[in-house]
Every structure is written in structure tokens, then in C-alpha cells.
Amino acid sequence: MIELAPSILSADFARLGEQVNRAAEGGGTVIHVDVMDGHFVPNITLGPQLVRSLRKATKLPLDCHLMIEDPDLYIPAFADAGADWMSVHYEACRHLDRTLNLVKNHGLQVGVVINPATPVGMLSEVLDIVDYVLVMSVNPGYGGQKFIPNSLRKVRELAQMREQRGLDFAIEIDGGVGMENIADVARAGVDWVVAGSSVFHAPDPAQAVREMQRAAEEALSVKV
């Protein structure tokens, strides 16, 4: 079973509540919230205040993807604003173990993210701490970029490590996923798919989510 996480990065921020609810009606089960600081990534997006407003607009869990330097400084504010899940980048954390535990200690589901150029092996020592691993399938910073095919190999490798070690973290993929590649993504073994422009740039976000979900399920049923 694959869950779809619509990413609000590509939504119309002036109509955010309405757009998020449309995506939820289509079957989105978690709202992906991209936090960018203009340092770790070359773009600036949103802060805890917006998360607080979103919290009131939807009942779905909020998956905050922190693309920021010094995440320890901001984790308490995002947790307080109503984040449910929170992921931090391997590349942004000098003391990754400490940062992951900080998120956990705030009672949130914790995820670790790797950029396209980071091998999955770098996560070996934290796989037993996290609830999910987010594999970036584009370089973080913008929506609407082209999917990097090598990411699927990384997903398969992670799924293998999970099995070998008897762990149960979920695998999430983020960037460049749409109708044209959702079947391949599903077959690689991801649990959660983040989708921004393919959902919110579609004429109807609800229908876009529905179609992607159906394509993923079909791909998995063919495999068996």
C-alpha cells in the first residue's frame, strides 16, 4: 500500500486551506510541508506560523521536511506549531544522532533525508532510530524538477537493508514524481510518495491524487 503526500510547495499559498482539502479529498493521507531557509537550499519558503495555520485547516498529519541549517534551533518551534512528522537532512546535521533524538523527544515521528549524491550507506548508524527515510529524487530547493532515476536503486538498497536488519522504518521519496514514473517508483518499494507539481499544478488536485494512487496500486498488483 502506497500513501500519497501532496507537497504544498506547488500550491497557491493564497488558497492553501482549500487546496490542501482538495488533495485530501482525492486520498492524500499526509501533507508534506517544505521548509527552506535560503542557506541549505537556494530558496526560502515558510516558517512555524504557516504550519500553525495549516494545523487548523486540515486533520491530516503534517510532514515537515526541514531543508535548513542548524535545524536544532527550529525543531521546538515547528513541533509547537503542530508538526506531526519531521525530517532533517543528513547533510545539514553535524550531530545527526542528537538532532534525530531531539525530534523524537518532542513526540514526533522522525525522518532522515538524503540528497541525490549521498549514498544510503551513510545512514547505517541511524536506521534503527528513525521512523522514516526520505530519499530525495531531485536536488532539494524547488518543485517541478526532473526525477533522478538513480534514486530507485537507492530505494531498493534501503528496502534490502531494512529487511536484513529486521527494521521497520518507512521509505519516502520526494521530487519529480508524476503519472509518467509513479509505477516505477511504486515497484522500487517506497511506502510514501511526495508529489508537488503533479498534484497542485493539475486542474483538479483531488483527481490528480486519485489517479496517481490508482497507477501505483496497479503497478503493485501487476508485480505480484
- Quick check: 65 binds Zn ion (CB under 5 A)? yes
**Minimum CB distance to ligand DX5, residue 64 (Å):** 11
Residue nearest to ligand DX5 (CB): 196
Q: How far apart are CA 106 and CA 16, in angstroms?
A: 26
**Minimum CB distance to ligand DX5, residue 7 (Å):** 3
**Minimum CB distance to ligand DX5, residue 147 (Å):** 8
Known active-site residue 70: no
Known active-site residue 128: no
Q: How far apart are CA 200 and CA 45, in angstroms?
A: 16
Quick one: angle between helices 16-25 and 205-223, nearest 10? 30
Neighbours of 140 (CB within 10 A): 23
**Minimum CB distance to Zn ion, residue 203 (Å):** 23
Among candidate residues 34, 37, 63, 131, the one labeled active-site is 34
- Quick check: 34 binds Zn ion (CB under 5 A)? yes
162 in Cβ contact with 189 (< 8 Å): no
Nearer to ligand DX5, 91 or 167 (CB): 91
Q: Which partner from the list Zn ion, ligand DX5, none does 24 bind, CB cut-off 5 to 8 Å by kind?
A: none
At 161, is the secondary structure helix, strand, or coil? helix
Site string for Zn ion, 161-190 (x = CB under 5 A): -------------x----------------
Q: Which partner from the list ligand DX5, Zn ion, none does 26 bind, CB cut-off 5 to 8 Å by kind?
A: none
- Quick one: DSSP state of residue 120? G
**CA-closest candidate to residue 136, choices 92, 84, 70, 94:** 92
Question: Using alpha carbons only, what angle is made at residue 63 by residues 105 and 128, rounded to the nearest 5 degrees?
Answer: 50
* Residue 65: strand pairing partners: 34, 87
Judged by the rule CB under 5 A, the positions of this chain that interact with Zn ion are 34, 65, 174
Catalytic residue numbers? 34, 174
